[in-house]
Structure 1
Amino acid sequence: AVIMALVHSHAVKNEAEGLSFFDGTEGQYFHEGGRGYHNSWDSKLFNYGKREVQQFLLSNVRYWLEEFHFDGYRFDGITSMLYFHHGDYTEFDHYDKYFKDGVEWDAVTYLQLANTVAHQTKPGVMTIAEDFSGMPGIARTPEDGGVGFNFRLGMGIPDFWIKYLKEKSDDDWNIEELWSVMTNRRYKEGTIAYAESHDQAIVGDKTTAFWLMDKEMYWHMHKDDDHLVIDCGVALHKLIRMFTGALGGEGYLTFIGNEFGHPEWIDFPREGNDWSYKYARRQWSLVDHPELKYQYLNNWDGGMVTLLKEHDIPSSYQAQQLNMDATNKTIVAERGNLIFIWNFHPSNAIPDYKFYVPQAGQYRIILNSDAPQFGGHNRIDESQVFETFEEDGVNKLSVYNTNRTALVLERIK
C-alpha cells in the first residue's frame, strides 16, 4: 500500500504561499489570536468548528483518494489537533487528560468526519493516526465511541531505536527492554510499527543505516569490500527491521528508500540550504547497482515483507515469548504459527542451541538473514529439517544460533 502523509494539523503562516490572510482577514480558515498560532511550529491552526473549513479540509481528503488513488493517509501531528495545549509539556498520566482537560472537541469531531469521508470515498482505505499522547479509542470506529482511524502509529518504536543507536553500543542492548517496547500497546487498537521515522527520511535526523555505518557507507558498500563496520551495520539493519515488523504492531511501515539503507535524507530547497536541489531526491541508482550492498538490504526487505504478508503476521495475535537469553542476547518468539529467532549478540554463535516450542513436529527455515543473497555469511544449512525432541517435559528444537542473525522457522508436519 502507498500511504500519503496528510497534514491537516497546521498550515504555513506565509501569506505568499499559504492561506494566511487569504481574504484579508485572520479568521477565514484559522482561529484568530493566540488560539490560531502554534508557538512550537511557528504556523497557523485551523478552526475545525467552522463549516467552511470542514468542507475545505474534507474535500482535500477526497481529492487525493479520487484523483491519485492513494491507498490511505498518515494523518500528521494529530496530537497537536486533539488538545488545546498541543501535547506540549504534558504528561498523559491520567484518563482525565484524554477526555476532559484541554481536549479540542472541534478537532476530535473533525477527525471523526475525516475518517468517515475517507472510508466512504474509498472502501478499504487505510487511515493512520500520528499521535504520541496515546488517546484511547483513536483506532476504534465512531460507532464504538472512537475517532475512526484504522491504526495508530507506534511512535515510540523509532524513537527507541534512534535512542539506542545514539547512546548504546549493541554490546549493551537490553533484550528485555527490546521486547517490552515492541509488545507494549493497547489491546484491540491496531498499531503500525516502523523502525525509522519521517525525520530520518526527510531532513532531520540520520537514517538508521547512517547511524550504523556513518561515513563508511561512502567508501565501503561494494560487494567485494569486506569492512567490519559495514558488515555489522548491514546485519543490525536487517535485525532491527525484522524485529520491528514481526513484533511491533498490526502493520508495518517504511519511508521510501530507507528499506535499502539510503544513506541520506531528502532535503527540499529552502532558505536554510540556500535553495539547493542537491538532496531533493532518492538515489535509486544505489539499489539498482548490481555491485553494491544496498541490494542485500533491499532483498531482505522484500523477503521480510513477503513473509509477513503471506503468513498474515500483522493480523495474528500478539507474539508469545518462548525464550529470553540475556547472556547470548537471543530472543525466541512465536507469532502466526511461525518461530522467530533473533540473536543480537556481536560474537556469540552457538551450535546446538536449544529452546522450547509450543508444537511438536518438524520445522524448516523460511527466512535467514545470514543467507548470502541478504549479505550474510552463509553459515546455516537451510536445507536442514529440525525435529522437536522432549526435554524437561516440553518440546524443544535445536539450531545453529549464529550471531547478529534473524531466523524464521515454519512447522511442516
Structure 2
Amino acid sequence: MKNNHESPDNQVQGYSLLTDFDIGLFNTGKHFKLYEKLGSRVTENEDQHGVYFALWAPNASKVSVIGDFNGWNGDQHYLFPRWDGSGIWEGFIPGVDNGTIYKYRIHNQQTGEILEKGDPFAIFWEVPPNTASIVWDIDYKWSDDDWMNKRKEINSLDRPISVYEVHLGSWKRKYDDNNRSFSYKELAKDLVPYVKELGFTHVEFMPVMEHPFFGSWGYQVTGYFAPSSRYGTPQDFMYLMESFHNEGIGVYLDWVPSHFPNDAHGLHRFDGTHLFEHEDPRQGYHPDWNSYIFNYGRSEVKSFLISNACFWFEKFHADGLRVDAVASMLYLDYSRKEGEWIPNKYGGRENLEAIDFMKEMNETVYANFEGIQTIAEESTSWPMVTKPTYLGGLGFGMKWMMGWMNDTLEYFSKDTLYRQHHQNEITFSMTYAFTENFMLPLSHDEVVHGKGSLLSRMPGDEWQKFANLRCLYGYMYTHPGTNLLFMSGEIGQSDEWKHDKSLDWWLTEHKYHQGIFEWVKDLNNLYKDSPGLYEKQFSAEGFEWIDYTDAANSVIVFMRKGHYKENTLFVAINFTPVPREKYEIGVPYEGEYEEIINSDYEKYGGSDQYNGGVLKTSKGEMHGHQHKLKLNLSPLGVSILRKK
C-alpha cells in the first residue's frame, strides 16, 4: 500500500504493510502478530527491491533510519508518520537488503533530544557489545513435523515432564578457541545427544533473547524478538530447536516480560518519553534489578508483549514459556517500602493491569498453539496461578514450587542427627501440593551468589554428601509434580555455577560424580516408564501417605498412583546414614513385592545395601492397612518398590 506523503529526498518511499484493521487492533491492545507488521522486512515496492521499516514512536517529531548503507547519516532516510494518529512511522528504502545493519534516529518532539535506538522488533542484532539491529529474514524449512503433530500428547500435563535447565553460554566452552561459548550448531551436535542420554523429556533455556550484558544471564533483554547473535543466526537457533524435537525432546524458553534494562539502545525512554515503562518510578522502576517495569495498562505495550509470546511459539516452535519473576508483576509493593508504591484503584497492592495482561497472554497462546505450556516462576501464595481464567485463575499450565525447594534444601543442609526435629520441613509440601500444578525446581538460582553447589550444601563426609544428593534427587522425582534440574546438578558439581566458564566436565571421571550421573539417568527413565509417577502428578488421587510420623528415624513412606492399581509405586526414604533392617510398613495389597531401584546401588556410588529378591507380605494391621511388609532401608537411601 502506497501512501500520499513525499519523501524529503525521494530515497524513502511512502509504503505501508499496515491496514486500518491492524492499527485498530494495535491501539486497543489486541494485535498479537505485530512481528508481521512492525520492524524491518525485505520486500518489493513497484518493482524495486528494498526494505520496509515501521516503528512505533508517538512522541517523535522526526524518525530516520541510519546504518552502514548510508554512513550512519541521520539526514538521509526519514520515515513518514502515519496520518491516523497511531504513532507509527514507516517507509520503504530501495536497494537495502538482508544483512543491513541499522538503527533508528529519533527526535523527541517536546525536548528536541535525539536518540539512537535499536529496533524493538529486530530478529537479529549485532554481537554485543555492538548494539545495532540487522535486517534479517526469518525463513526456514522446518523438519520437525512429527514432533509438532504429536506435541499435544507428549507435552501434556498427564505425561512425564523432566526438565534440564541450561545456560547456553556456559554448558560447554571451547578452551582451545579463546574460551568461547559453543554455537547453536555445536550445541545441536553435543547438547542434544547428551540430554537424550540422560533421559530428560525437556530442556529449558535461560533467556536466549538478545541482551547486552552477558553477566545478566539473559534476564536483562533488549531484543525481545531475537535469539542472541552470540551463538549464531536465528536460523542456527531454529536448527537447535528442531534438533531437540527430532530426538523427541521439548524446549521451554525463559521469557522476561517483567522488566527491561536502561541501555541507551533499548526500550527505556524509547522515543524520549517513558513509552514502554511507567513514568512514575514508584510504578516503572525496579529497585532490585536496576531495571524498568512494563506499563501493562498501555494497549500498545500489551500488544507488543503478547505478540512476543506468540512469536516464539510460531516462528521458533517453542513448546513452552517459563515466565520469569511473576511475583514482581503481581504486586505493586513488590520489594518496596511504605510510600514507595502506588495502590491500585481499590487501594490494594495487586497490579490489576499486570493480572489482566497475564490472563490474556495465557488465553491467547493456549488458544493459538496446540500442545504448549506456560510456567510461572511465582514465589508467593497467590491463588489459582494454574487454574483457568474462566474460573478466576491466571491461566498458567504449571508453577514453580518455590516453597518445596526452600524447605527441602533447608532440610537437607541439616546434619542428619538433627533431622528428626525437622520432619515437618520435608512433609509440609504435601499439605498444599495439589493446590496448583507444581513443577519442583532445583534451578540456577540455587547454585549462585555464594550459595555453593547442591553437593557442597549436603552435610557429612564425602560419601554422605553424595548419598544425600542422591537422596535429594530421589525424593524430588517421587514427589508429586514435574521436576527441573539445572545443568551441573547431574554430575554433582563441587563448585557453584559460573556463567563465564564451562561446567567441570572432568569430574565425571570420578566414581561418585559418575554415580550421580547414572542415578539421574535412571530416575528419568523410571519416571518416563512409570504411569504411577506422572498420570496423576497434579492430583491428590495420585498420592497417599503410608507413614510420615517416624521422625525418630527420619523416615517417610508413601504411595504414588496412576490410573490402575498395578501401576502403584511404594517409596521409602531414609534421611539418615543409619541402615534400618527389617523395617515394617503397612501396604494395601497382599502378595509379593520387588524393589525396582535403590539409590544405594554400588553403581551410583552407594554401599550396595538393598532389597534383593522377592519381599512377601504378612498379615497384620499397620498404617491403616491389613498387610505388612519388611524391608531394609539403606543409609540415606531411596527405595522404590512395586507389587509383582
The normalised TM-score by structure 2 is: 0.54
> Map of 1:1-150 to 2, 5 A cutoff?
1-2=202-203, 3-16=252-265, 18-25=266-273, 27-34=274-281, 35-86=283-334, 101-150=348-397
Tell me whether 1:322 sits opposite 2:546 in the alignment: yes
The 1:202/1:56 distance shift into structure 2, 3 A limit, reads farther
The 1:89/1:238 distance shift into structure 2, 3 A limit, reads farther
Task: Specify which of 472, 482, 487 is matched with residue 251 of structure 1.
Answer: 482
> Map of 1:12-411 to 2, 5 A cutoff?
12-16=261-265, 18-25=266-273, 27-34=274-281, 35-86=283-334, 101-166=348-413, 168-174=414-420, 176-185=423-432, 187-194=434-441, 196-203=442-449, 205-212=451-458, 229-247=461-479, 249-268=480-499, 277=500, 279=501, 281-287=502-508, 289=509, 291-312=510-531, 313-316=533-536, 317-318=539-540, 319-323=543-547, 324-336=549-561, 337-347=568-578, 349-382=579-612, 384-392=613-621, 394-411=626-643
Distance 1:197 1:19 in 2: 28
Give yes or no for contact 1:201–1:256 (8 Å, CA) kept in 2: no
Distance 1:75 1:82 in 2: 12
Give yes or no for contact 2:586–2:621 (8 Å, CA) kept in 1: no
After TM superposition, give the deviation of residue 83 of structure 1 in Å: 1.4
| Structure 2 spans left out of the alignment, 5+ residues | 1-201, 204-251, 339-343, 562-567
The 1:70/1:258 distance shift into structure 2, 3 A limit, reads farther
Distance 2:453 2:392 in 1: 38
The 1:89/1:179 distance shift into structure 2, 3 A limit, reads farther
Provide the secondary structure at the position in 2 that maps to 1:56: helix
Give yes or no for contact 1:203–1:266 (8 Å, CA) kept in 2: no
Give yes or no for contact 1:250–1:315 (8 Å, CA) kept in 2: no
The 1:410/1:13 distance shift into structure 2, 3 A limit, reads same
After TM superposition, give the deviation of residue 207 of structure 1 in Å: 2.1
| Two-structure CA RMSD over aligned residues (Å) | 2.5
After TM superposition, give the deviation of residue 29 of structure 1 in Å: 0.6
Report sequence identity in percent: 26
Give yes or no for contact 2:453–2:497 (8 Å, CA) kept in 1: no
Give yes or no for contact 1:246–1:314 (8 Å, CA) kept in 2: no
Equivalent position amino acid for 2:262 in 1: K
The 1:380/1:295 distance shift into structure 2, 3 A limit, reads same
The 1:204/1:146 distance shift into structure 2, 3 A limit, reads farther
After TM superposition, give the deviation of residue 292 of structure 1 in Å: 4.0
Name whichever of 361-370 and 317-326 sits farther off. 317-326
| Structure 1 spans left out of the alignment, 5+ residues | 91-96, 214-227, 269-276
Query: For residues 299-346 of structure 1, what are the alpha-carbon distances to aligned partners after superposition, in whole Å with 9 as ceiling and x for unaligned?
Result: 111211222232231442443221232222211111121100001122
User: Counterpart in 2 of 1:222?
Assistant: none
The 1:265/1:24 distance shift into structure 2, 3 A limit, reads farther
The 1:203/1:104 distance shift into structure 2, 3 A limit, reads same
Provide the secondary structure at the position in 2 that maps to 1:244: helix
Distance 2:554 2:590 in 1: 25
Distance 2:315 2:395 in 1: 23
The 1:266/1:55 distance shift into structure 2, 3 A limit, reads farther
Provide the secondary structure at the position in 1 that maps to 2:485: coil
After TM superposition, give the deviation of residue 240 of structure 1 in Å: 1.1
Distance 2:356 2:631 in 1: 54
Equivalent position amino acid for 1:283 in 2: D
The 1:304/1:118 distance shift into structure 2, 3 A limit, reads same
Provide the secondary structure at the position in 1 that maps to 2:486: coil
Provide the secondary structure at the position in 2 that maps to 1:148: coil
Provide the secondary structure at the position in 2 that maps to 1:5: strand
Distance 1:201 1:120 in 2: 36
After TM superposition, give the deviation of residue 385 of structure 1 in Å: 0.8
The 1:401/1:266 distance shift into structure 2, 3 A limit, reads closer
Provide the secondary structure at the position in 2 that maps to 1:322: strand
Give yes or no for contact 1:368–1:405 (8 Å, CA) kept in 2: yes
Give yes or no for contact 2:278–2:294 (8 Å, CA) kept in 1: yes
The 1:89/1:257 distance shift into structure 2, 3 A limit, reads farther
After TM superposition, give the deviation of residue 361 of structure 1 in Å: 1.8
Query: For residues 89-132 of structure 1, what are the alpha-carbon distances to aligned partners after superposition, in whole Å with 9 as ceiling and x for unaligned?
Result: 79xxxxxx9x9721111101111122223323432212111112
Distance 2:545 2:419 in 1: 18
Name whichever of 230-239 and 110-119 sits farther off. 110-119
Distance 1:244 1:103 in 2: 32
Distance 1:100 1:360 in 2: 60
Equivalent position amino acid for 2:619 in 1: E
After TM superposition, give the deviation of residue 202 of structure 1 in Å: 5.0
Larger Rg: 2
Equivalent position amino acid for 1:369 in 2: S
Distance 1:54 1:212 in 2: 45
Provide the secondary structure at the position in 2 that maps to 1:325: coil
Query: For residues 62-97 of structure 1, what are the alpha-carbon distances to aligned partners after superposition, in whole Å with 9 as ceiling and x for unaligned?
Result: 23333443321221111110111126579xxxxxx9
The 1:89/1:374 distance shift into structure 2, 3 A limit, reads farther
Equivalent position amino acid for 1:50 in 2: R
Name whichever of 257-266 and 5-14 sits farther off. 257-266
